[in-house]
Chains A and B, each alone.
Chain A
């Protein structure tokens, strides 16, 4: 029987960063992965011969500079591509684009409203200030203030100090950001509804919220964590997609002496004296381990790997109550060429940030209401990223990929199931919506694929297909994540930790939850040893 210091369930990005950190500290680490490859939800698959796209994960994500530096990913061969821009297309043939240069951005906004162009610097200032607050909390472990541990009190004190040190104006700003709806917040800067829709849409993707719902503004500054020199923010994404990041991390784990075992599905946690002591695989094999980390979402971690009777009183219920919502369907199109996009010049640098098609705030709200009523979407919000523009290696020569996130797709329908006719209808709706701005789209399609939230649950194991493994609403963030009373990464089961995006900081930055979990484990192990 095998014995390791730490066994990690799942080779997703967070499982990999946790493994890399733990093996870097000298622990013997084994990752057990159900599928045959690393990456989990971030993994790519072949969409058509030569076309590589993530069928489930977003084709972009925030890779924090801290992660790159810690694992020296730049020298390990990972290349990063800066994706600027993003263009919102509207039905009147107009658009709003993002530019990284302040003057160009202000000129772009001035096309819609001169006044809004002047409001832009004020908006940038407020976004950057709030983003800095979020960024600071991202990489630190979240201490539960109810625990009254020394470190929790310290963190509370430092936060209180930050808040107490603010002048009333700043405090008012903070409350505004955490309580207003996207539209309300944006209305305090911009008069043009198109500019507002353009800025709101990216913050909605993946979230079970409409643009007019309170608290929606909270995640708007998250996009500004990469920084900005006065223009719109950008994202860094790995060349070769998230798969390349996963491969690179996998190599680092192995270089540091860690091991990854594929085609091995964990069905149970081995318990000894009410403590986690290893895992049991589907074929009955047992692997003993000092600690067990789960890169599964919080529901799967506890509700499917444990006997419920073994969990503390009420804990199973708390976990069951965590809100996980499938709201995004994923569609990938393989194209044999780059079709013309109406009103957008081919050399426009903003194209590399993708297209946003939602038709304005009112249509987005209607799409959200349809989602609440569990109706099949008729005009969803589409985020179309075109990763091949900056990274042609993902497609055969001349080919392109349109990777579409379809926002406001219900997991279940009010009047039946997602039959194949319904799936076809959704595919057709999306094609028509894009074709309104890209008339030649259908001529260029050589392959397509659709993943509904339920498909995402089946394939990646995200409960209800929630891309964030737990909705990122204020009640499920920071020390309330994953569940109140059990913040950070430790769980009521001794030696069992959740290192997936269900934990802080969720999907805000790739791989941070895993790295943070490993850090807090190493801290407590050292504490125990000394």
Chain B
């Protein structure tokens, strides 16, 4: 009992800054289990599960539009999707990506363990480099995707969108390796857009443009140790900054200040999703379902179905799903995720994808692309229909058919 009170007292003290915040009102204690998940949580007592940036984010929100991301409340729209999109593509955009799940994988056999889990070898991954990681189940379908950072010879950080500690720990049986969920100890900020490097330089980073794609390094930004990586999924110039939760708020304000002259804006999940689609990235839980949680196995996809075969290295020692994947590689996928461009107005209803009279696929996610002035969509289409490169239509309002164009992904390319 006393232990618990001490924990509580510590937690209260640690976040005392926000006690006078307008969000909480006078004398109202802030949410006791603020991001840090190690604090003992009272049953059914949490009002809002917040990231370390919540108060700063809330102060910027003009629309009160929020979304749930892995249980956390994050901003969907701050001012307007279009304004935020413009900032992202033409200037600089700052976002809170703290809800991403982060695992620390360390130990003598971290490399063999990850070799077993990932579809390609991690031996060649250098320290302070990140690589796209695909984790498959035995049947070759994707469990989750993310980025793998190599922090040291035997220490890695796996950043993914959905939490699979149970499966990772089970997979780790027999390996001299330690898997920890460190999500609550690392806050994440995304800084994207053509002016992102300038903003970083103004915030105190030396030569941010020297950081190549997939590279990362430790920086002191205003005295705060920050791990800066050139990673992201929206295309264009993107940096992700990983920092201690207690520094996150200061770092957020520092970057906004540093970017003021560059026209930086906080950007919410809605605009980020448009950019993600333009970059042609399929999202777990939206465009396909995780092999571990899909109710209908028809909703799961192999890396080949998502045209990610380049990230699968079949010619090496055993890894999860190897047998099934080599079978898929030989025979080809049954259905494939493709990019579609639709000459429709923004907000038009979109039905199934057809070829002549028969339905051959389904649009999974779509958005109006301000840069391309058309609707870009990701659709799952029967591979047998893909022999033809045109002739596809989608059903739209009034059951009329609208021709669609197959498009290479990413839809939008950046030099």
B41 touches which of A107, A115, A348 (Cβ 8 Å): A107
CB distance from A429 to the nearest CB of B (A): 27
User: Which residues, 90 to 128 on A, are CB-close (under 8 Å) to B?
Assistant: 95, 97, 99, 103-104, 106-108, 110-111, 114-119, 121-122, 124-125, 128
Residues of B within 8 A of A272 (CB): none
Question: Once the chains are docked, how many angstroms separate the CA of A114 from the CA of B182?
Answer: 12
Determine how close the nearest CB of chain B comes to the CB of A162; give it in whole angstroms. Answer: 14
- How many Å from the CB of B298 to the closest CB on chain A? 12
Distance of B289 from chain A, by nearest CB (Å): 9
Q: Pick from A106, A116, A118, A345: contact of B164, CB below 8 A.
A: A118
Q: Is B169 an interface residue (CB 8 A)?
A: yes
Q: Complex: how many Å from CA A348 to CA B45?
A: 9
> Residues of A contacting B45 with CB < 8 Å?
345
Question: Are A115 and B294 CB-contacts (below 8 A) given A107-B41, A350-B44?
Answer: no
Q: Do A97 and B295 have beta carbons less than 8 Å apart?
A: no
CA distance A218 to B293 in the complex (A): 21
Check if A108 sits within 8 Å of B44, measured CB to CB: yes
- Neighbouring A residues of B7 by C-beta, 8 Å: none
Contact B43 A111 (CB under 8 A): yes
B68 touches A114 (CB 8 A): no
B292 interface contact, C-beta 8 A:
yes
For B, the interface residue count at a CB cutoff of 8 angstroms equals 23
Cβ of A283 under 8 Å from chain B: no
* Contact, CB under 8 Å: A106 / B71: yes
Asked if B43 and A128 make an inter-chain contact with CB atoms under 8 angstroms apart, the answer reads no
Tell me the dominant secondary structure on chain B's binding face.
Answer: loop
A344 to B41, CA, bound (A): 13
How far does the Cβ of B286 sit from chain A's closest Cβ, in whole Å?
A: 15
From A115, A116, A119, A350, residue with most partner B Cβ within 10 Å: A115
Q: Which chain A residue has the least Cβ–Cβ distance from B290? A: A121
Asked if A115 and B165 sit within 8 Å, CB to CB, the answer is: yes
A99 to B68, CA, bound (A): 17
- Report yes or no: B166 in contact with A119, Cβ–Cβ below 8 A: yes
B167 at the interface (CB under 8 A from A): yes
Q: Judge whether A118 and B166 touch: CB under 8 Å.
A: yes
Most chain-A Cβ atoms within 10 A of its Cβ — which of B37, B41, B163? B163
Q: Contact check, A97 vs B43: say whether CB atoms are below 8 A apart.
A: yes
Are B44 and A348 in contact, CB atoms less than 8 angstroms apart? yes
Q: Check B71 against A343 for contact (C-beta < 8 Å).
A: no
> Is the CB of B16 closer than 8 A to any CB of chain A?
no
Question: Is A169 part of the contact surface with B, judged by Cβ < 8 Å?
Answer: yes
Name, among B290, B292, B293, the residue most crowded by chain A CB atoms within 10 Å (CB to CB).
B293
- A122 and B293 within 8 A (CB): yes
Give chain A interface residues in 123-164, CB to chain B under 8 Å. 124-125, 128-129
In the bound assembly, the distance between CA atoms of A189 and B46 in angstroms comes to 26
Measured between alpha carbons, how far is A464 from B68 in the docked complex, in Å? 52
B46→A114 contact, CB < 8 A: no
B294 — which chain A residues lie within 8 A by C-beta? 125
Please report the C-alpha to C-alpha distance between residue A453 and residue B174 in the assembled complex, in whole angstroms: 50
A-B contacts at CB below 8 angstroms, number = 59
Number of residues on chain A facing chain B (CB within 8 A): 30
A169 to B324, CA, bound (A): 13
Question: Does any Cβ of A come within 8 Å of B382's Cβ?
Answer: no
Given the complex of chains A and B, what is the CA–CA distance between A121 and B293 in angstroms? 6
- CB <8 Å contact, A128 and B295: yes
Nearest B residue to A127 via CB reads B295
Complex Cα gap A110–B293 (Å):
18
Instruction: Report Cα–Cα, A104/B138, bound state, in Å.
Output: 30
Chain B residues with CB under 8 Å of A350's CB are: 44
A328 CA / B387 CA spacing, docked (Å) = 64
B181 at the interface (CB under 8 A from A): yes
Q: A106-B71, A107-B71 are in contact. Are A95 and B37 (CB under 8 A)?
A: no
Task: Establish whether residues A114 and B292, one from each chain, have CB atoms under 8 Å apart when the complex forms.
Answer: no
| A115-B169, A118-B164 as given contacts; A110 in contact with B43, CB under 8 Å | no
The one of A122, A124, A125 in contact with B166, judged by C-beta atoms closer than 8 angstroms, is A122
Contact A97 B165 (CB under 8 A): no
Contact A114 B44 (CB under 8 A): no
What's the nearest-Cβ distance from chain A to residue B165, in Å? 5
Whether B293 and A345, one on each chain, are in contact in the complex, defined by CB atoms closer than 8 angstroms, is no
B163, A118: Cβ atoms closer than 8 Å: yes
Q: Bound state CA distance, A107 and B31, in angstroms?
A: 15
Interface check B154, CB cutoff 8 A: no
A344 near B165 with CB under 8 A, answer: no
Q: How far is the CA of A344 from the CA of B43 in the complex (A)?
A: 8
Residue of A nearest to B40 (CB): A111
Cβ contacts under 8 Å, B166 to chain A:
115-116, 118-119, 122, 189
Alpha-carbon distance between A107 and B49 when the two chains are bound, in angstroms: 10
Question: What residue in chain B is nearest A111 (Cβ atoms)?
Answer: B41
Contacts of A115 in B (CB 8 A): 165-166, 169
Find B139's partner among A107, A111, A119, A169 (CB 8 Å cutoff). Answer: A169
Greatest chain A CB density within 10 A among B37, B44, B45, B46 is at B44
Q: How far is the CB of A134 from chain B (nearest CB, A)?
A: 15
Contact A107 B295 (CB under 8 A): no
CB-CB under 8 A from A97, the residues of chain B are 43-44
State in angstroms the CA–CA spacing of A111 and B33 once bound together: 12
User: Whole-angstrom distance between the alpha carbons of A118 and B49 in the complex?
Assistant: 17
A103 touches B37 (CB 8 A): no
Residues of A within 8 A of B292 (CB): 121-122, 125
Task: State the CA gap A122–B294 with chains docked (Å).
Answer: 8
Which of B71, B138, B139, B169 is in CB contact (< 8 Å) with A103? B71
Provide the bound-state CA to CA distance between A103 and B44, in Å: 12
**Which residue of A is nearest B139, CB measured?**
A169
List of A residues within 8 angstroms of B44 by Cβ: 97, 99, 104, 108, 345, 348, 350
A271 to chain B, nearest CB (A): 52
Chain B hits for A111, CB < 8 A: 41, 43
When distances are taken between beta carbons in the complex, the residues of chain B under 8 Å from A118 are 163-167
Q: How far is the CA of A117 from the CA of B37 in the complex (A)?
A: 13
Interface string of B148-190 (1 = CB under 8 A from A): 0000000000000001111101000000000001000000000
- Against A, the Cβ 8 Å flags (1 = close, 0 = not) of B286-307 are 0000101111000000000000
Q: How far is the CB of A88 from chain B (nearest CB, A)?
A: 12
With A97-B44, A103-B68, A111-B43 known as contacts, the answer to whether A117 contacts B163 (CB < 8 A) is yes
Q: How far is the CB of B226 from chain A (nearest CB, A)?
A: 26
Residues of chain B within 8 A of A106, CB atoms compared: 71
CA of A118 to CA of B292, assembled, Å: 10
Q: Which residues of A contact B290 (CB under 8 A)?
A: 121
Min CB–CB distance B181 → chain A (angstroms): 6
- Residues on A with beta carbons closer than 8 Å to the beta carbon of B71: 103, 106-107
Q: Per-residue CB proximity of A189-211 to B under 8 Å, as 1/0?
A: 10000000000000000000000
B293-A129 in contact (CB<8A): no
* With A111-B41, A115-B169, A118-B166 already in contact, 18 other A-B pairs whose C-beta atoms are closer than 8 Å: A97-B43, A99-B44, A103-B68, A107-B49, A110-B41, A111-B43, A114-B181, A119-B167, A121-B293, A125-B292, A128-B295, A129-B295, A169-B138, A169-B139, A345-B43, A348-B43, A348-B44, A350-B44
Pairs across A and B, CB under 8 Å, 7 listed? A103-B71, A108-B43, A110-B41, A121-B290, A121-B292, A128-B295, A345-B43
6 nearest CB pairs, A to B = A119-B166, A121-B293, A118-B166, A103-B71, A118-B165, A115-B166
Residues of B within 8 A of A (CB): 37, 41, 43-46, 49, 68, 71, 138-139, 163-167, 169, 181, 290, 292-295
